[in-house]
Amino acid sequence: MSLRLNNTAPNFTAQTTKGTIDFHEWIGDGWAMLFSHPKDFTPVCTTELGYMARIEPEFAKRNCKIIGLSVDSVDSHLKWEKDIEETQGAAVNYPMIGDTELAIAKLYEMLPADEAGTFEGRTAATNQTVRSVFVIGPDKKIKLQLTYPMTTGRNFNEILRALDSMQLTAAHKVATPVNWQDGEDVIIVPAVSDEEAKEKYPNGWKTIKPYLRVVSQPAKI
């Protein structure tokens, strides 16, 4: 059965570059982002993992842990980390899962339709995890999922933008409009009545249509 938004993120135990983890216990009471890459020692993946190393503090500010995954071994990850730091200028301090049996990749449907299903003979073009992203909330439910082709490096700034939006929604019952950036006006969700909105936003809001009420971004909690 396919994973959908608001499904409970499947739990698992895994070997990582930071030791063995139980995924749900590792998440704790905060947010988490699980992202897969196709293969160690490949060019696009090196740039992605390096960029994530640089912006990890931004995720930490948002109480969001990050963890990577491929079906390479933990030993391979540890060796590759040296190349990442050398070429991208940042040390990888977040854990990377060594999913050599493809168990988590299959659990989270991270493999392309034509994958072989075994580790043997794997190359960058066959039997690899695609570029999947799962953002998981404190309730352990999937809040966002994205899948990119193997040839396209992801825009992790967009993941941060989406995380800001989702955390605002969780705290304030607001939605964010197209191309919204942190600090810009937001939208009061239709489920909030005008009476409730008056309590939450005593300084008022702009009503463009009855279903489109724009208000200044609330303070983050």
Is 45 annotated as catalytic? yes
Residue with tokens 């960058």: 124
Q: How far apart are the first and last CA of the chain?
A: 35
Name the active-site residue from 44, 45, 104, 166: 45
Helices 74-88, 43-61: crossing angle, 10 deg rounding: 80
The dihedral through the CA atoms of 22, 25, 28, 30 has a sign that is: positive
The number of CA neighbours under 13 Å toward the Cβ of 141 is: 8
Q: Calculate the alpha carbon distances from 53 to 69, 85, 129, 150 in Å.
A: 14, 9, 20, 20
Q: Which two tokens stand for residue 51?
A: 């960029």
Q: Which two tokens stand for residue 2?
A: 């396919």
Residue 32's DSSP bridge partners are 65, 136
Contacts of 8 (CB under 8 A, 6+ apart): 140, 141, 142
Q: Which two tokens stand for residue 210?
A: 């009855």
Q: Which residues are catalytic?
A: 45
